[in-house]
Chains A and B, each alone.
Chain A
Amino acid sequence: MNKLKLLFLASVALALNACEKVIDIDLKNTKPVIVIEGNVIDEYVAQKVKISQTKPFTEDNSVDAVTNATITLKDVTLNKTYDFSASDAEGNYFSEKFKGMPGHVYELKVKSDNQEYVAQSTMPIKVPLDSLSITEVSFFGNTRKYLKVNFADPANYQNQYRYVIRVNNALVKGYYVDSDRFNNGKYIANTIFTDEPELKTGDTIKVEFQCIDMNIYRYFFAISQISGNGGPPTAPSNPDSNFNNGALGFFSAHTSQTNTAVIK
């Protein structure tokens, strides 16, 4: 019986020891496609639009900037347009300084290589982030610290949130979005199951808490699903952008609040 047990343990170890290896795949390359990342936030700042294009998988991760685009940003609610500067070398375009207003509809037009790309986004109402805290969760004997975000979700609105997390000033990979469909109107204490890095005492955590519109929620949710989000991963595809004419990326008018905590 002892032998049997040993054999069993050996098999389980073999079976569960799923192995990973880096492989070479000959990937097709396509014509570069424009990527637009536009944001309007509820702070008095120069709002930023970043334009780049796709590049082959085998190249490095540097940004292939698009610097010759023309940008028009309009507050549709006020029927007011904002001017943008010319691009810097990284493909960043900045507006004149203004503060985005919750409830306003914004429209971003980008013209590049004789093609126009248009997207609209509505800035949702602002929900204040109450606090950050830390909780410990145990998985099969392995206890880890996880971040919790605490806030009161308003009952009269459908809300979507995005958390941009930095640990010791390094961005945590992955897109973390939430909606209130299971907890509308509740005081929410959400545990965020980040993978890397493991949180330790003394780490400084900085969370930018964004209230985003539905299209942007679905956009980031779609990306996070490809790598598995609370379930088996979905087949990969490009997330639905709110830009027309095949542009990748998104235009998001959102509120922004940043809280910082140090893990004790």
Chain B
Amino acid sequence: MKIKFLRFYLFLLLFTAASNTIYAQKNYVVNGVIKDERTGETLIGASVQVNGISSLGTVSNAYGYYSLSIPAGVYQIVYSYVGYKTIKKDINVTANLTQNIALSSANELNEVIVTEERRNNNVENPLMGVQKLNVKEINSIPVLFGERDILKTLQLLPGIKSAGEGNSGFYVRGGSTDQNLILLDEAPVYNASHLLGFFSTFNSDAIKDVTVYKGGMPAQYGGRLASVLDIKMNDGNKKEYTVEGGLGLIASRLKVEGPLKKDKSSFMVSGRRTYADTFLAFSPDTSVRGSKLYFYDLNAKMNFILDSKNILYLSGYFGRDKLGLKNSFGFDWGNTTATVRLNHLFSNRLFSNTSLIYSNYNYLIESLLEDNDFNVKSSIKDFNLKQDFQLTANNAHEVKFGLNVIHHTISPGKITASAASSVNQSQIEERKGLELAAYFSDEYKVNPKLSLAYGLRLSNFAALGSGTFKTYDIDGNTTGTTFYKAGELVKNYLNLEPRLSAAFQLSENKSIKASFTRNTQNLHLMSNSTATSPTDLYIMNSNNVKPEIADQVALGYFSNFKNDSYEFSSEIYYKNMKNQIEYRNGTDLRGNQNVEADLLFGDGRAYGIELFLKKRFGDFNGWIGYTLAKTERQFAQINDGKWFNAKQDRTHDLSLVGIYKASPRWTLSSTFVYSTGNAVTYPSGKYQLNGETVFYYSEKNGYRTPAYHRLDFSATLEPKIKPNRKYQSSWSFGIYNVYNRKNAFSIDFKDDPDNPGRTQAVQTSLFGIIPSVTWNFKF
């Protein structure tokens, strides 16, 4: 197997060399890095466009690097980026040229930017299902408790739905929460939420860029069915030291960044901690005083420009939730990621990035009850090596290729206990797996009207020993047991994932696009409850569990109008999913050695239409997103084998976002969301069993909870602009759920406590109207 990969890799290298010699004769390369003038932060996705020749243009990559191949001649190159002042450079290309650019911030998002710039990237780019979130937008959109939150802002985009009230989990185009690949500086984050889902693990202070792919993922991404959320952290200010922070109702934040050596290296450290528990210390009750309830996040990053060809990045994330009751119970969980990356320029046409990534998610439960003390540890640990190349073959082709190797170790649970405890020490066998992927993609401008992005990803998963592996029949009975030695191959799965998307320009600012994407997933989150829990465990492919496979086709219409100040898109998609996972009734996922015996496998399908209208500039901007969709699952052993609504199925989903710059100091914003209620199972009858009422269910997810809707409001007061003062402070005020809508969190059926001879339905609502205030500072 490995040899095949090597051959593929060699082929790619040869291809690279060949294309170099073919094209180098008539074209020269203009390359460089695009940065923010004030901070030295690299800018991701900045546009580089030869004025007047629409086919000559590119965008900066994840490291701010761009490379453009153009024939000899005299040109004007336009460098632009949303929120920055455009720069035009007149150049005479007679040889290869390195052009590093520093753009200066336009201060306000709504400042109208010069007209000739290339603002039609959304229309021309062959990729579809992609959306970028602007960090400035994130900061002015109201959220729960005034804590700005990337994942919750993301849920306001069409096709992306919240997993529940105040929840940072999300569903993309009918996928479940574990089918999203969440990358933080290339490191996969396994549990992206704090405090049982109410806050995401991403502290927006530390974040530079957020891109989400709902479909048509480029071949460099793989491993999850539904979406890719690619989050990049700030590099750190290379010019001067700055301190930024905020005091909120729930948490406080502090970020320090600055140069280690001016213009050569920098660092960024950003931390956040909640302080609900500090109030516990004032309690008169000693058991309350000893209790714990908080989370914290720490993001850190350093980068070093070694020379003109090499840049080294070190970044890390460490976050943890801690819950504890004095003398009885403790529970904490969190992610750790560490990334070392080296950007290297092999030539002015070949950019390379090598990443070494470590990722770990674990939890620890402690019971301190007398006679019953124990602790449970569980973890998922990855070592990940990624080699990515970006080749500027000629002005029509932008080629990317690379390799990715991930070694996973899952330790489902290890129980330790004292000798006096009634609990036995035990350990569920660790599982190891090796994921190998190789990819190739090309963005090809066939002609001024047609551009293509095509690629192929080869994904191989090997389940490895050591351990005892079982096979099961359809009823979950063991049919075979085999012991494998350490490193021995248990089962191998190979998948080819074609990716294709195309854009056809109808006019300068109108296009239609089409795409086909296959994604596969080798890691699966086990959760049979209605809400996610930090104890939900991942399992890997095995003899019984096969890779999940999704094929998605999408068609779209994209248009910019009114001098590009409005952007409209409409996408229709159909997705077919295989090897989806459900659970037998009464499955206990906790500490279950034979969990695979309780799994059921079936199919899924999802289809829908997404409409998106955005006003991009002006004192008033914002967007409307609407999704009409259907998501279903089919399992032979559930619902008599008939298709049923998946729990993430919501027919209508509407988001309105408005941001209004009322005065130089006041920014007002508001969001409104409406969605069809969740698909749920309600009783169709009842019976008495042993003196208790038990409900009878006739169809799975055949009912709907009441529709969900909510209006939020927020206002930000910026300081008076005093040019010579570095210290600045601002206030944010927010109101969550302005009209105090009692949205259903859960609906339970039970005996009427006032009249035990009858039954009733009881709706629980979580958050009513919640005001918030946050004070932010910077110096």
Residues of chain A at the chain B interface (Cβ within 8 Å): 4-5, 7-12, 14-15, 17-25, 27-30, 32-33, 35, 37, 52-57, 60-64, 135, 137-141, 143, 164, 171, 173-175, 181-191, 218-219, 221-223, 225, 227, 230-240, 248-249
With beta carbons under 8 angstroms apart, the residue of A23, A53, A189 that contacts B762 is: A23
Instruction: Show 24 residue pairs from A and B whose CB-CB distance is below 8 angstroms, ordered by the A residue.
Output: A7-B773, A9-B279, A18-B745, A18-B764, A19-B764, A20-B764, A23-B762, A23-B763, A29-B685, A37-B690, A53-B687, A54-B686, A57-B695, A60-B757, A61-B757, A138-B328, A140-B325, A143-B287, A219-B586, A222-B586, A233-B530, A234-B530, A237-B697, A238-B696
* Residues of chain B with a CB closer than 8 A to A28's CB: 684, 698, 702
Q: How far is the CB of A151 from chain B (nearest CB, A)?
A: 10
Q: How far is the CB of B715 from chain A (nearest CB, A)?
A: 16
With beta carbons under 8 angstroms apart, the residue of B325, B700, B745 that contacts A139 is: B325
Q: Are B531 and A232 in contact (CB under 8 A)?
A: yes
For the complex, give the distance between the alpha carbons of A256 and B357 in Å: 57
With beta carbons under 8 angstroms apart, the residue of B422, B584, B746 that contacts A183 is: B422
Known contacts A12-B276, A135-B370, A233-B529: A240-B586 contact under CB 8 Å? yes
B291, B686, B745, B761 pick with most chain A CB within 10 angstroms: B686
For the complex, give the distance between the alpha carbons of A141 and B325 in Å: 10
Known contacts A19-B742, A140-B288: A235-B647 contact under CB 8 Å? yes
Q: Are A191 and B369 in contact (CB under 8 A)?
A: yes
Q: Which of B680-727 contact A (CB under 8 A)?
A: 680-698, 700-703, 706
With beta carbons under 8 angstroms apart, the residue of B279, B686, B768 that contacts A55 is: B686
Q: Across the two chains, which residue of chain A brings its CB closest to B702?
A: A28
Mask: chain B, 758-770; 1 = CB below 8 Å from A; 0 = not: 1111111111111
With beta carbons under 8 angstroms apart, the residue of B424, B758, B768 that contacts A61 is: B758
Q: Are A61 and B756 in contact (CB under 8 A)?
A: yes
Q: Across the two chains, which residue of chain A brings its CB closest to B196?
A: A232
Q: Are B533 and A8 in contact (CB under 8 A)?
A: no
Q: Are B684 and A141 in contact (CB under 8 A)?
A: no
Q: How far is the CB of B421 from chain A (nearest CB, A)?
A: 8
The 10 closest A-B pairs by CB, nearest first: A222-B586, A141-B285, A54-B685, A232-B529, A218-B586, A189-B371, A232-B531, A35-B687, A141-B288, A138-B287
Extra inter-chain contacts (19) besides given A20-B763, A22-B761, A186-B424, CB under 8 Å: A4-B249, A14-B768, A15-B770, A19-B764, A25-B761, A27-B682, A27-B684, A57-B685, A57-B749, A141-B287, A182-B423, A188-B422, A189-B372, A190-B372, A232-B529, A236-B697, A237-B585, A240-B585, A240-B586
Q: How far is the CB of A30 from chain B (nearest CB, A)?
A: 5
* Residues of chain A with a CB closer than 8 A to B529's CB: 231-235
Asked if B751 is at the interface of the complex by the 8 Å CB criterion, the answer is yes
Known contacts A15-B770, A61-B756, A184-B424: A232-B586 contact under CB 8 Å? no
Q: Are A183 and B424 in contact (CB under 8 A)?
A: yes
Mask: chain B, 365-389; 1 = CB below 8 Å from A; 0 = not: 0000111101000000000000000
With beta carbons under 8 angstroms apart, the residue of B276, B369, B686 that contacts A57 is: B686
Q: Which of B90-114 contact A (CB under 8 A)?
A: none
For the complex, give the distance between the alpha carbons of A186 and B680 in Å: 41
Q: Are A22 and B285 in contact (CB under 8 A)?
A: no
Q: Across the two chains, which residue of chain B brings its CB closest to A8?
A: B249
Known contacts A12-B276, A14-B768, A171-B692: A191-B372 contact under CB 8 Å? yes
Q: Which of B733-779 contact A (CB under 8 A)?
A: 742, 745-749, 751, 756-773
Known contacts A23-B763, A233-B529: A182-B686 contact under CB 8 Å? no
* Residues of chain A with a CB closer than 8 A to B369's CB: 135, 137, 191
Q: Are A30 and B585 in contact (CB under 8 A)?
A: no
* Residues of chain A with a CB closer than 8 A to B772's CB: 11
Known contacts A22-B761, A141-B288, A219-B586: A14-B686 contact under CB 8 Å? no
For the complex, give the distance between the alpha carbons of A177 and B749 in Å: 21
For the complex, give the distance between the alpha carbons of A206 and B353 in Å: 69
Q: Are A231 and B325 in contact (CB under 8 A)?
A: no
* Residues of chain A with a CB closer than 8 A to B748's CB: 227
* Residues of chain A with a CB closer than 8 A to B421's CB: 186
Asked if B84 is at the interface of the complex by the 8 Å CB criterion, the answer is no
* Residues of chain B with a CB closer than 8 A to A8's CB: 249-250, 279
For the complex, give the distance between the alpha carbons of A249 and B692 in Å: 12
For the complex, give the distance between the alpha carbons of A186 and B418 in Å: 12
* Residues of chain A with a CB closer than 8 A to B283's CB: 141
Q: Across the two chains, which residue of chain A brings its CB closest to B696?
A: A54
Count of B interface residues, CB-CB < 8 Å: 91
Q: Across the two chains, which residue of chain A brings its CB closest to B706?
A: A23
For the complex, give the distance between the alpha carbons of A164 and B689 in Å: 13
B370, B696, B761, B765 pick with most chain A CB within 10 angstroms: B696
A17, A24, A183, A184 pick with most chain B CB within 10 angstroms: A183
Q: Across the two chains, which residue of chain B brings its CB closest to A219?
A: B586
For the complex, give the distance between the alpha carbons of A237 and B698 in Å: 8
Known contacts A25-B682, A27-B683, A30-B698: A182-B424 contact under CB 8 Å? yes
Q: Are A21 and B249 in contact (CB under 8 A)?
A: no
* Residues of chain B with a CB closer than 8 A to A21's CB: 742, 762-763, 765
Q: How far is the CB of B706 from chain A (nearest CB, A)?
A: 8
Asked if B535 is at the interface of the complex by the 8 Å CB criterion, the answer is yes
Q: Are B586 and A225 in contact (CB under 8 A)?
A: yes
Q: How far is the CB of A147 from chain B (nearest CB, A)?
A: 14
Q: Are A248 and B687 in contact (CB under 8 A)?
A: yes
For the complex, give the distance between the alpha carbons of A24 and B759 in Å: 11
Known contacts A22-B761, A61-B759: A186-B423 contact under CB 8 Å? yes
Q: Are A14 and B770 in contact (CB under 8 A)?
A: yes
For the complex, give the distance between the alpha carbons of A190 and B145 in Å: 40
Q: Across the two chains, which residue of chain A brings its CB closest to B682?
A: A27
For the complex, give the distance between the alpha carbons of A62 and B687 in Å: 9
* Residues of chain A with a CB closer than 8 A to B530's CB: 232-235
Q: How far is the CB of A49 from chain B (nearest CB, A)?
A: 13
Q: Are A33 and B685 in contact (CB under 8 A)?
A: yes
* Residues of chain A with a CB closer than 8 A to B423's CB: 182-183, 186
* Residues of chain B with a CB closer than 8 A to A18's CB: 745, 764-766
For the complex, give the distance between the alpha carbons of A8 and B370 in Å: 36
Q: Are A189 and B422 in contact (CB under 8 A)?
A: yes
For the complex, give the distance between the alpha carbons of A188 and B692 in Å: 28
Known contacts A33-B696, A140-B287: A14-B769 contact under CB 8 Å? yes
B585, B691, B706 pick with most chain A CB within 10 angstroms: B585
* Residues of chain A with a CB closer than 8 A to B688's CB: 35, 52, 61, 63
Q: Are B757 and A62 in contact (CB under 8 A)?
A: yes
Mask: chain B, 330-371; 1 = CB below 8 Å from A; 0 = not: 000000000000000000000000000000000000000111
B279, B688, B706, B763 pick with most chain A CB within 10 angstroms: B688
Q: Are B761 and A232 in contact (CB under 8 A)?
A: no
* Residues of chain B with a CB closer than 8 A to A222's CB: 585-586
Q: Are B145 and A11 in contact (CB under 8 A)?
A: yes
* Residues of chain B with a CB closer than 8 A to A175's CB: 692
With beta carbons under 8 angstroms apart, the residue of B276, B326, B588, B746 that contacts A221 is: B588
Asked if B528 is at the interface of the complex by the 8 Å CB criterion, the answer is yes
For the complex, give the distance between the alpha carbons of A71 and B529 in Å: 38
With beta carbons under 8 angstroms apart, the residue of A14, A23, A223, A236 that contacts B681 is: A236
For the complex, give the distance between the alpha carbons of A12 and B195 in Å: 14
Known contacts A55-B687, A182-B415: A22-B762 contact under CB 8 Å? yes
* Residues of chain B with a CB closer than 8 A to A62's CB: 757
Q: Are A221 and B586 in contact (CB under 8 A)?
A: yes
Known contacts A54-B696, A232-B530: A138-B422 contact under CB 8 Å? no
Known contacts A28-B684, A30-B698: A137-B328 contact under CB 8 Å? yes
Q: How far is the CB of A129 from chain B (nearest CB, A)?
A: 15
Asked if B327 is at the interface of the complex by the 8 Å CB criterion, the answer is yes
Q: How far is the CB of A100 from chain B (nearest CB, A)?
A: 18
Asked if B467 is at the interface of the complex by the 8 Å CB criterion, the answer is no
For the complex, give the distance between the alpha carbons of A29 and B767 in Å: 33
Asked if B591 is at the interface of the complex by the 8 Å CB criterion, the answer is yes
